[in-house]
C-alpha cells in the first residue's frame, strides 16, 4: 500500500484542531449564552459573516507585516484561481459587511458575532489552529465613552464568569499623527540594536517599527523594555481622548494597568488598545482572554467613508480552559418505567415535566430498570421518577434520589401523588 493510501485512511483531526465534547461543549454553550446576554444588554445584535473571504480582505485590513497575515493564514486557490482564506478574525469581515450591505449611512451599528477562526499558529494549551471567538464591533461612534462602554462589557464577562487573577491592560497608540512621530523615534532607538534584533524585527524596523513592540522573541523583549513610550508622543487631542477613556473607567471602578508596549498584533488600531490577561496555570505564561481597541481608519482604508469604530474579541477556548469546572450544576431528572405495560404513562410524564417545568428530562428506554438506573446515575441525574404497576394504580410516582438535595439523601425514596409531581420538583430545584 502506498503512503498516500495510508494517510487517507488515517482518521484523526488536523493538528491544532479539536472536538469539543462533554464538559468542554457544555462550557462552550454556557459561555456563549452568557456573552450573548451581556452584550445584548449593551444593545448589540447578532451578525453572521462567511467563514471564507478573499485573502486580500485580510491582507489589506490586518496588515501585510502582521504575523497573522504573513505566517498564519489558511489560504487556498479556489477553482477559479482566486485566493481565498479561512477567516483569522472577525473585524475585517464586519467592516466588509458594513460596506457591501450599504449600511455606512445607517449608523451606529452595534454587532456581535461568534464562531470559528483559523490561524496557522504553533498549537499549545489555549492556542489552536481552529479556535472560537466571540466579538463585538461598535461602528460609527467616535466618543471615548464608547471605548469605556466596550471595555466595561468585556469586564462584565470576566465578572459574570467569575474569572480570578485577571488584569486589564490599557494603552493608547494615538492617532496617525502621534504614531508618525513615534515611529521616527522608534526607528532611531531600535537602529542602535539592529544586529541584536530578531530577523523579523530587523525587517520590520523600516517597514513597520511598531510591530517590533509586539515581538515575543526574548532578545527583542530585552531591547523593547527600554524603548521610548508612545504616551510621550500623543498629540494633545489623542492625549485628551485617552484621558477621557481612563476617567470613564475610573468612574466605573474598573481597575486597569497601563502597558505602553500594548500595540496589539493587528495593524488597524489607533487610540485605545486593551487586553484582559490571566495565567491559566502557574507554569504557563499569561494569555489574553480578550483583546481589542479603537480602529478609526479601517472602514475608509477598505473603501468606505471615514467611520470611527471600536470593538473586541474574546477567545472562547481560553475561557473554556479557565471556566470548565465552574458551570453551575444543572438538575437532571429521569423518568423510568418498570415494565413495558407502563411505558406510555412514563413517556407522557416525561413530556409533561419537560414542557411544564422547562427542565431537562431523560427518558432512557433501553435495557431493564437496573440498567436505566445505572445510566441515570452515570448522567448525574438528581432524581429518577419510577413508574411501576403499583404507582400507576395509585396515581403516584416513586422519586428515587440519586444525589443528596436539600433534606433528601442520596439513595432515599419518596412517593408523590402524580398530580403534585411538578410542584414538588419545582420547589425541590428552587434555590
Ligand atoms: P486578537 O487579539 O487577535 O484580536 O484575538 C482576540 C482573542 O482571540 C485573543 O485575545 C485570544 O483570546 C483569542 N485567540 C487568538 N488567537 C488564538 C489561537 N490561536 N487560539 C486560541 N485563541 C486565540 C482580534 O482578533 C480582533 N479582531 C479583536 C477586535 C475586534 N478588535 C476590534 N474589534
Q: Which three cell numbers stand for residue 430?
A: 428552587
Interatomic CA distance for residues 363 and 376, integer angstroms: 9
As averages over each run of 10 residues, the pLDDT of the chain (431 residues) reads 58 94 92 97 98 97 93 97 98 98 98 98 95 98 98 97 94 97 96 95 92 92 95 97 98 96 94 90 79 98 97 97 78 95 96 92 96 95 97 97 95 96 93 75
Q: Is 119 in the pocket of ligand 1 (CB under 6 A)?
A: yes
Q: Is 271 in the pocket of ligand 1 (CB under 6 A)?
A: no
Q: Nearest CA to 273 among 281, 265, 283, 262?
A: 262
Both ends of the chain: CA-CA distance in Å?
62
Q: Which atom of ligand 1 is nearest to the CA of 288?
A: 10
Q: Which atom of ligand 1 is nearest to the CA of 133?
A: 8
Q: What is the pLDDT of residue 98?
A: 98
Q: Which atom of ligand 1 is nearest to the CA of 72?
A: 19
Instruction: Please say whether the beta carbons of 122 and 67 come within 8 A.
Output: no
Q: Is 288 in the pocket of ligand 1 (CB under 6 A)?
A: yes
Q: Is 141 in the pocket of ligand 1 (CB under 6 A)?
A: no
Q: Is 67 in the pocket of ligand 1 (CB under 6 A)?
A: no
Q: Is 166 in the pocket of ligand 1 (CB under 6 A)?
A: no
Atom 13 in ligand 1: which residue has the minimum CA distance?
A: 315
Q: Which three cell numbers stand for residue 377?
A: 446515575
Q: Is 87 in the pocket of ligand 1 (CB under 6 A)?
A: no
Q: What is the pLDDT of residue 23?
A: 87
Q: Which atom of ligand 1 is nearest to the CA of 314?
A: 7
Q: Which atom of ligand 1 is nearest to the CA of 311?
A: 33
Q: Which atom of ligand 1 is nearest to the CA of 264?
A: 2
Q: What is the pLDDT of residue 431?
A: 75
Q: How far is the CA of 292 from the centre of ligand 1 (A)?
A: 8
Q: Nearest CA to 224 among 256, 248, 192, 253?
A: 192
**Among 49, 68, 70, 89, residue to substitute to test ligand 1 (most atoms within 8 Å of Cβ):** 89
Q: Is 131 in the pocket of ligand 1 (CB under 6 A)?
A: yes
Q: Is 265 in the pocket of ligand 1 (CB under 6 A)?
A: yes
Q: How far is the CA of 315 from the centre of ligand 1 (A)?
A: 6
- DSSP string across 74-105: -EEE-TTS-EEEE-S-SHHHHHHHHHHTT-TT
Q: Is 18 in the pocket of ligand 1 (CB under 6 A)?
A: no
Q: How far is the CA of 207 from the centre of ligand 1 (A)?
A: 24
Q: Nearest CA to 211 among 312, 63, 55?
A: 63
User: pTM, whole model, 2 decimals?
Assistant: 0.90
Buried b (16+ CB within 10 A) or exposed e, 14-35: eebeeeeeeeeeebbebbbebb
Q: Is 292 in the pocket of ligand 1 (CB under 6 A)?
A: yes
Q: Which residues pair with 116 in a beta bridge?
A: 132
**Among 289, 315, 319, residue to substitute to test ligand 1 (most atoms within 8 Å of Cβ):** 315
Q: Is 273 in the pocket of ligand 1 (CB under 6 A)?
A: no
Atom 1 in ligand 1: which residue has the minimum CA distance?
A: 291
Q: Which atom of ligand 1 is nearest to the CA of 128?
A: 20
Q: What is the pLDDT of residue 280?
A: 58
Q: Is 121 in the pocket of ligand 1 (CB under 6 A)?
A: yes
Q: Which three cell numbers stand for residue 201?
A: 524585527
Between helix 55-62 and helix 91-100 the angle, nearest 10°, is 110
Q: How far is the CA of 90 from the centre of ligand 1 (A)?
A: 9
Q: Which atom of ligand 1 is nearest to the CA of 289?
A: 12
Helices (H) and strands (E) counted in the chain, each on its own, are 16, 16
Amino acid at each position: 500500500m502506498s503512503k498516500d493510501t495510508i494517510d487517507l485512511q488515517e482518521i484523526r483531526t488536523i493538528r491544532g484542531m479539536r472536538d469539543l465534547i462533554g464538559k468542554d461543549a457544555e462550557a462552550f454553550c454556557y459561555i456563549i449564552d452568557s456573552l450573548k446576554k451581556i452584550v445584548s444588554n449593551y444593545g448589540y445584535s447578532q451578525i453572521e459573516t462567511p467563514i471564507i473571504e478573499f485573502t486580500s480582505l485580510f491582507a489589506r485590513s490586518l496588515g501585510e507585516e502582521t504575523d497573522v497575515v504573513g505566517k498564519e493564514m489558511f489560504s487556498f486557490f479556489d477553482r477559479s484561481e482566486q485566493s481565498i482564506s479561512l477567516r483569522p478574525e472577525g473585524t475585517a469581515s464586519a467592516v466588509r459587511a458594513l460596506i457591501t450591505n450599504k449600511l455606512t449611512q445607517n449608523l451606529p451599528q452595534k454587532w456581535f458575532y461568534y464562531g470559528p477562526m483559523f490561524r496557522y499558529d504553533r498549537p499549545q494549551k489555549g492556542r489552536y489552529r481552529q479556535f472560537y471567538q466571540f466579538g463585538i464591533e461598535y461602528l460609527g461612534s467616535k466618543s471615548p465613552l464608547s471605548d469605556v462602554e466596550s471595555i466595561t462589557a468585556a469586564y462584565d464577562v470576566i465578572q459574570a464568569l467569575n474569572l480570578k487573577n485577571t488584569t486589564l491592560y490599557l494603552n493608547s497608540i494615538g492617532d496617525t499623527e502621534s504614531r508618525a512621530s513615534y515611529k521616527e523615534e522608534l526607528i532611531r532607538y531600535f537602529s542602535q540594536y539592529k544586529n541584536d534584533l530578531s530577523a523579523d524585527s530587523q525587517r520590520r524596523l523600516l517597514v513597520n517599527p511598531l510591530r517590533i513592540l509586539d515581538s515575543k522573541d526574548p532578545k527583542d523583549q530585552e531591547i523593547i523594555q527600554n524603548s521610548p513610550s508612545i504616551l510621550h508622543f500623543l498629540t494633545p487631542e489623542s492625549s485628551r481622548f485617552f484621558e477621557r477613556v481612563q476617567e470613564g473607567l475610573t468612574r466605573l471602578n474598573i481597575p486597569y494597568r497601563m502597558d505602553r508596549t500594548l500595540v496589539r498584533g493587528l495593524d488597524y488600531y489607533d487610540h485605545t488598545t486593551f487586553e484582559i490577561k490571566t495565567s491559566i496555570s502557574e507554569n504557563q505564561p499569561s494569555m489574553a482572554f480578550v483583546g481589542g481597541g479603537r480602529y478609526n481608519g479601517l472602514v475608509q482604508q477598505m473603501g468606505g467613508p471615514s467611520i470611527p469604530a471600536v470593538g473586541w474579541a474574546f477567545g472562547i477556548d481560553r475561557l473554556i480552559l479557565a471556566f470548565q469546572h465552574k458551570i453551575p450544576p444543572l438538575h437532571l431528572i429521569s423518568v423510568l418505567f418498570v415494565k413495558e405495560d407502563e411505558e406510555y404513562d412514563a413517556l407522557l410524564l416525561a413530556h409533561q415535566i419537560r414542557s411544564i417545568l422547562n427542565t431537562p428530562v431523560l427518558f432512557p428506554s433501553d435495557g431493564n430498570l437496573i440498567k436505566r438506573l445505572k445510566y441515570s446515575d452515570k448522567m448525574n441525574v438528581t432524581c429518577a421518577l419510577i413508574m411501576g404497576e403499583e404507582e400507576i394504580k395509585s396515581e403516584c410516582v416513586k422519586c428515587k434520589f440519586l444525589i443528596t438535595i436539600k433534606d433528601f439523601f442520596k439513595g432515599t425514596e419518596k412517593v408523590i401523588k402524580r398530580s403534585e409531581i411538578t410542584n414538588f420538583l419545582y420547589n425541590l430545584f428552587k434555590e
